[in-house]
A and B are shown apart, each in its own frame.
Chain A
Amino acid sequence: MSVIKKILNMDQRIIYLGLFIALAFPILSPVIVPVVIQDYSTQAFNFAKAIPDGSYVLIEGGNAAATHPQCGPGLTANIYHLLTKNCKLVFFSITAEPAYWTQVEIDDAIAKLPASVAKEKGVNWVNLGYLSGGESGVAALAADIRSVVSKDHFGTPIGDLPMMKDINSAKDFAAVFWWGGSEGSIPYGIRQLVGPYNLPMSGSCTTNEVPNYSPYVSSGQLKGLFGGIRGSAEYELLLGVPGPALAQAMATNIGGLYFLGLVLLGNILYLVQRMRGEK
């Protein structure tokens, strides 16, 4: 077997090892690199910036353990941004595990906020926790919050939360952010919140899902989209609050360049093989 053929058919474990090495060093020793902001992220940031101060905002937290490293920093930045605008935030999750990670991201944001920013639970933000029923649950929440949720994530009755006094349906919110992780659930928000209630919506998803939602951004149903770790890094950069996503941007760079390098190598060797008439 020629050398070219051996390389083209190399054991996948060599590729895995190369990727592991490529990702390990920048993760262990993060370096902040310049990031060119994409248009989707700019649109999403401007949308968040344009929300009137003090508005009620609904946020779906859909990051699980798998997607928290990618999209978690972005949600943390989003919470930071909205609380500095004195917005009142209501969180919910449509799957069980993300309900916990949403609270982690809230806690991360609160830890970063300056002391002058109001961030009291029940007054400035409420986490309603896990809402079962998937899209039907979202529809039920949008119509009447109290028909599906009686206590928040911590077991406090909704009636005891000062912030929830004046809100009971999607009509009471100024905007919704859907941090869907890899759930593929952004269309739930579009169908149950944007369509029936004209609630403007932005959000985030994993990088591979961005093309899936680009039709919604083009049509204006989504006012912007933060995609994966790059989107989270861009949000941190736009906000001026560097965080873990920016630190991981170098790892994304190196991993991506390794990926592209392999594709190029494969194609060059393949073309050489064809020119030589080998199979």
Chain B
Amino acid sequence: MVLILAGRLVSLVALIILVGAILYYIQRAMSGKIPKLRRLPAVDVIQEIVGRCVEMGRPVWYLFGSTDMTTPSILAPTVAAFQTLSYTARIAARLGAKLFVPLNQGLAYTMASDIVREAYVAENKLEDFDPLKTVMYLPSGADRMYIINHMWEEQVAGAFFLGSWYHEAVIYTENAAREGAVMLGGTDTTHNIPFLVAICDYSVIGEELYALGAYVSQDALQSSSLAGQDIGKYLAIIAILIGAILVTAGISLTEFFKLGW
């Protein structure tokens, strides 16, 4: 009896290598050898945006997009966005910026509320944290008009659009842009990345969002996971190069893979 199902061997080998690499780097991180992440320009941008809002006396908004964390494709960017929120909230508390974080999902609201409160406590600015107004729960659907209207009313000067964004990204970013807000956007939903890149002043694309979250949170686990994922990228690059050469040489990859690999 064949143990490995037909056509699955290559994927299995790739998965083993990738998971092995991630576990290896996690193990190294546990023994103190944390992979170094390069400082993303977005880290300085966060400080710049919050500082601008303080100078202008206008609020800074932090928006998440979709936050249904039971869906794996939404969990990863949302976690990264939480990590960046923690960093942003500390800067906002330190500089005295008026931070506003609307969310449309209960669990995410609870977590964001805790994160922001902890940030204000860490900066000894708990009196600036309003539990009802700093982090707000807005039901999905109704949040859209609330956010658009209040962006106009409050003349938001800086905004962060980080997380899992869908079509509402365009609506919010354009409205914020019209108010003159400086924006940092980032998502891993591929069809919305172009919108955020085009409209926002600064952006993090795809995996850079995870890297940003890992860098600002100095999370050893995230950093080591990213290092392991880089091994996967090297594998992908090698596979692409080999595949391109084979196809250019006229060797059919379909036949190659039909060998049951």
Direct contact between the two chains A and B in their complex (CB within 8 A): yes
Q: Does A209 sit within 8 A of B, measured CB to CB? A: yes
**Number of chain A residues close to chain B: CB under 8 A:** 8
The answer to whether B178 and A211 touch across the interface, beta carbons within 8 angstroms, is: no
In the bound complex, residues from chain A placing their C-beta under 8 Å from that of B105 are none
How far, in whole Å, are A184 and B188 apart by their CA atoms in the complex?
12
Quote the shortest CB–CB distance from A72 to chain B (angstroms).
17
Quote the shortest CB–CB distance from A96 to chain B (angstroms).
13
- Size category of the B interface is under 10
From B174, B178, B190, name the one whose CB has the most chain A CB atoms within 10 angstroms: B190
How far, in whole Å, are A209 and B191 apart by their CA atoms in the complex?
6
* 8 Å CB contact of B189 from A12, A134, A184, A211: A184
Question: A129-171 CB contact bits vs B (8 Å, 1 = yes)?
Answer: 0000010000000000000000000000000000000000000
How far, in whole Å, are A212 and B193 apart by their CA atoms in the complex?
10
Q: Does A182 sit within 8 A of B, measured CB to CB? A: yes
Q: Does B109 sit within 8 A of A, measured CB to CB? A: no
How far, in whole Å, are A208 and B174 apart by their CA atoms in the complex?
17
- Complex: chain A residue closest to B70, CB-CB: A134
The answer to whether A182 and B71 touch across the interface, beta carbons within 8 angstroms, is: no
From B166, B167, B174, B178, name the one whose CB has the most chain A CB atoms within 10 angstroms: B167
The answer to whether B178 and A182 touch across the interface, beta carbons within 8 angstroms, is: no
How far, in whole Å, are A184 and B178 apart by their CA atoms in the complex?
28
Question: B160-199 CB contact bits vs A (8 Å, 1 = yes)?
Answer: 0000001100000010001000000000011100000000
In A165-201, which residues have CB < 8 Å from any B CB?
182, 184
* 8 Å CB contact of A212 from B71, B174, B178, B191: B191
Q: Apart from A12-B174, A184-B189, A212-B191, what 11 extra A-B contacts exist at CB < 8 Å?
A: A12-B178, A134-B71, A182-B166, A182-B167, A184-B166, A184-B191, A208-B167, A208-B191, A209-B191, A211-B191, A212-B190
List of 8 A-B pairs having minimum Cβ-Cβ separation, nearest first: A212-B191, A209-B191, A212-B190, A12-B178, A208-B191, A134-B71, A182-B167, A184-B189
Q: List, sorted by A's number, 14 A–B pairs whose CB atoms are closer than 8 Å.
A: A12-B174, A12-B178, A134-B71, A182-B166, A182-B167, A184-B166, A184-B189, A184-B191, A208-B167, A208-B191, A209-B191, A211-B191, A212-B190, A212-B191
